[in-house]
Chains A and B, each alone.
Chain A
Amino acid sequence: MPQTSLSTTDLTIRFGGHVAVNRVSCDFHPGETTVIVGPNGAGKTTYFNLISGQLTASEGSVRKGDTDITRMSPSTRAKHGLGRAFQLTNLFPQLSVMENIRLAVQARAGAGWGLFRSAASLTGLNETTQRYLEAARLGDKAAMPAAALPHGDQRKLEVALLMAMEPDIYMFDEPTAGMSLDQAPAVLDLIAQIKSDPKKTVLLVEHKMDVVRALADRIIVLHNGELLADGAPDEVMSSQIVRDVYLGTATEETA
């Protein structure tokens, strides 16, 4: 059994009487890309928010390696190597593409408190920033405000921001949402690039089955906040229970 880089144990969150995520226990491993699937409202994004810290669990725990991060703030989790991209484009709209990436680079370098140095003159930071700009093929748009980028480039910038944080654990929430067919490969290439590093753990929420097939080493299925299936892609995709969930029979039976 490979080592565990991230694990959730009995992770639960309630909103009033509604249990959005119900006792989900799951381990994630370096070098493995896990895709989380499930119908709308299954709790996928909520599960993500619990792991990255936007929400705090009602019960259960989240561990990164040997550290319990259940009660940590998102910024502390980020310092522990947890990087999260968002479903809706979530950038710094009025700042330039370059500044967006440099923010992630300097957060990692711990240079956010530099008061009297000109940010533009920090060569180390700027070289790293430039590298990620090139990696995302956004070099020619560095000076543009993020808000002025076309949607596809905004998604690329979103991924570049995450890469610039250099986390151990990458979390993508529908990275190709709203992208046209010809734009999506650019983002998928970036993710494939991350995936090729055996030290990185990748978690992905995704609906599009071609994307799931292209990237997944393992699939877990969430349904009504519960972990329904967990296994190799072929195995999970062909299982009766998953077919039921997607075809809707499972909900009819419980109703």
Chain B
Amino acid sequence: MKQSIGSLTVKSAMLVIAALLLFAPFLFQDIRALEVAARICIFIVLVASYDLLIGYTGIVSFAHTMFFGFGAYGSAIALKQMGPGWDAVALGTVAGVVVSLVIAAAIGLISLRVKAIFFAMITLAAASVVLVLASQLSQITGGEDGITYRTPDLFKTATKLAVDEDGKVVRWFGVKLNGKLAAYYFVFATSLVLFLAMLRITVSPLGTVLKAIRENEARAEAIGYRVVAYRTFVFCLSAVVASIAGSVYAIWLKYTGPDTALSFAIMIDILLMVVIGGMGTMWGAVIGAVLMVMAQYYLRDLMGAASEAVAGIPLLPELLAPDRWLFWLGIIFILLVYFFPKGIVGTLTAKGARPPEPLEGPVGVK
């Protein structure tokens, strides 16, 4: 099959992003940049797992951050209570996954039979309850302040992965081979594995069934697929992936609180990323997460610089003041939705690959 320019653009963008993330510690040698890179990795996984629900199967859920939070709090509480060991990491992650799985299965079996809007409301209610619980059970969760804890020694900044004769940490291309580097690659590798696994699922027979359910639920049922079972399964699957992403993020941040793991602001971020990137594409999750996280971290700086550059001109500096970054983010979002109605990836791949007109004659088989 001939590649359209749109899908070639998307593919090359993916390669560039993958390379940038892989070499991030060497390319951007400041702490903030590494923070951004790690956040991008985690959000790619989180958004991709949400895309399995909303883009592939057509399930609208507002409980995705809840599962992310289960994972994050699982690791956080285990690390706080048991000390910074690998046993705590394992136990915390597994506990998060089990809780997510049980809650997802319960919500799914009870309510995936009902209409989409009711299901969305039920997930919203569950997520609100968990958010309130997290802030009320402050002995365990640290309440609004959250929990700070230490992670395994391997991830400490002071840890030397390799030392030279003088006992100093070895540098590669000017980068210290320390625990921070190990922590970043832990985040990168887990995210990569999870993302590739999900990518594989979307082209598997199961992936086709999910799309069939999105396209025509009644017919999927009529040809022999138990729609409720498939829906519940994919809901559980995406919950588990979100939970693991949460655990990994908690290990990276060494802090877990409502703002980093449970708030509805994160849910809205996920929704925006899915819409910006393109639903039902997987690659859209990557584009959406990169753009959104970059904007959140750098739009302010960019506007600060822009505002100074136009200092002499009336009105413009006020408009571009860094404090108005959310306003500009909103404008950018509206423009993106206007020019890329199917998301960036969805719109690009559709360009030039439009289905041929029915009467144009036979179409080559792949």
**Chain A residues at the B interface, C-beta cutoff of 8 Å:** 52-54, 73-76, 78-79, 83-84, 86, 90-95, 99, 102-104, 106-108, 111-120, 122, 125, 139-145, 147-150, 153, 161, 165
| Chain B contacts for A52, CB-based, 8 A | 222
Query: CA of A120 to CA of B221 in the docked complex: distance in angstroms?
Result: 22
Instruction: State which residues 336-366 of B face A: CB under 8 Å.
Output: 355-359, 362-366
Does B197 interact with chain A (Cβ within 8 Å)? Answer: yes
* CB contact between A141 and one of B200, B212, B230, B363 (< 8 Å): that residue: B363
Contacts of A143 in B (CB 8 A): 1, 363-366
A37 and B175 CA atoms in complex are apart in Å by 81
Within 8 A of A (CB), among B213-235: 215-216, 218-227, 230
Q: Inter-chain contact count A-B, CB under 8 Å?
A: 126
Q: Which 4 A-B pairs have the closest CB atoms?
A: A78-B224, A140-B362, A107-B224, A92-B215
CB-based contact A116/B205 at 8 Å: no
Which residue of chain A is the closest to B366 with respect to CB atoms? Answer: A143
A112 and B230 form a contact (CB under 8 A): yes
In the complex formed, the residue of B with least CB distance to A171 is B222
Question: Is B209 close to A, CB under 8 A?
Answer: yes
Decide if B212 touches A95 in the complex (CB within 8 Å).
yes
User: Is B211 at the interface (CB under 8 A from chain A)?
Assistant: yes
Q: Is B296 an interface residue (CB 8 A)?
A: no
Instruction: For B207, give its contact among A83, A92, A119, A145 (CB under 8 Å).
Output: A119
A207 to B363 Cα, complex, angstroms: 35
Contact indicator A54/B209 (Cβ below 8 Å): no
Closest approach, in angstroms, between the C-beta of A220 and any C-beta of chain B?
23
A-B contact list, 16 entries, CB within 8 Å: A91-B219, A92-B220, A102-B208, A103-B208, A106-B205, A107-B225, A113-B205, A114-B205, A114-B206, A115-B201, A119-B203, A143-B363, A149-B358, A150-B358, A165-B223, A165-B224
Q: Roughly how many angstroms separate A126 CA and B75 CA in the complex, as a whole number?
A: 44
Alpha-carbon separation in the docked complex, A126 to B302 (Å):
52
Interface pair A118/B224, CB less than 8 Å apart: no
Find B204's partner among A117, A140, A144, A153 (CB 8 Å cutoff). A117
Within the assembled complex, what's the spacing in Å between the Cα atoms of A120 and B223? 20
B211 & A92 in contact (Cβ 8 Å cutoff): yes
Q: How far is the CA of A13 from the CA of B233 in the complex (A)?
A: 33
- Chain B residues near A147: list those with CB within 8 A: 355
Give the distance in Å from the alpha carbon of A81 to the alpha carbon of B1 in the complex.
37
**Docked-complex contact B205 and A148, CB < 8 angstroms:** no
* CB of A97 to closest CB in B, whole Å: 10
| Nearest-CB residue, chain B, relative to A130 | B365
Chain B proximity of A55: nearest CB distance (Å): 12
Chain B residue contacts of A84, Cβ below 8 A: 222
Q: For the complex, what is the distance from the CA of A114 to the CA of B365, rounded to whole Å?
A: 25
Closest approach, in angstroms, between the C-beta of B353 and any C-beta of chain A?
11
Report B-chain residues with C-beta under 8 Å of the C-beta of A115.
Answer: 200-201, 204, 206
Task: Among A86, A108, A113, A142, point to the contact of B224 (Cβ < 8 A).
Answer: A108
* Given A112-B225, A113-B205, A148-B357, 10 more pairs with CB closer than 8 A: A78-B221, A90-B216, A90-B219, A103-B220, A103-B225, A115-B204, A119-B205, A142-B365, A143-B365, A148-B358
Contact A141 B209 (CB under 8 A): no
Hey, which bits of chain B sit against chain A, CB under 8 A?
1, 197, 200-201, 203-209, 211-212, 215-216, 218-227, 230, 355-359, 362-366
Whether A120 contacts B203 by the Cβ 8 Å rule is yes
B201 closest partner in A (C-beta): A115
Do the beta carbons of B206 and A113 come within 8 Å of each other? yes
User: Distance (Å) between the CB of B196 and the closest chain A CB?
Assistant: 10
Structural contact, A148 and B355, CB atoms closer than 8 A = yes
C-alpha spacing A118/B196, complex, angstroms: 13
Assess A54 versus B218: contact at CB under 8 Å? Given A144-B356, A148-B358, A165-B223: yes
CB of B119 to closest CB in A, whole Å = 19
**Chain A residues whose CB sits within 8 angstroms of the CB of B359 once the complex forms:** 150
| Minimum CB distance partner of A104 in chain B | B223
Q: Using Cβ atoms and an 8 Å threshold, which residues of chain A touch B363?
A: 140-141, 143-144
CB contacts (< 8 Å) of B358 on chain A: these are 144, 148-150, 153
Residues of B within 8 A of A112 (CB): 205-206, 209, 225, 230
User: Which of A53, A94, A142 has the largest count of B CB atoms less than 10 A from its CB?
Assistant: A94
Find chain B residues with CB under 8 A from A145 CB.
Answer: 355
Q: How far is the CB of B212 from chain A (nearest CB, A)?
A: 5
Complex interface: chain B residues within 8 A of A74 (CB): 218, 221-222
Asked if B204 and A114 sit within 8 Å, CB to CB, the answer is yes
CB pair B216 A91 closer than 8 Å? yes
Is B223 a contact of A95 with CB atoms below 8 Å? no
Contact B211 A95 (CB under 8 A): yes
Q: How far is the CA of A94 from the CA of B1 in the complex (A)?
A: 18
- Residue of B201, B211, B215 touching A116 (CB-CB under 8 A): B201
Give Cα A114 to B201, complex, Å. 8
Chain B residue at smallest Cβ distance from A90: B219
Whether the pair A90, B218 counts as a contact (CB closer than 8 A) is yes
Cα A104 to Cα B216 with chains together (Å): 13
Chain A residues near B365 (CB-CB < 8 A):
139-140, 142-143
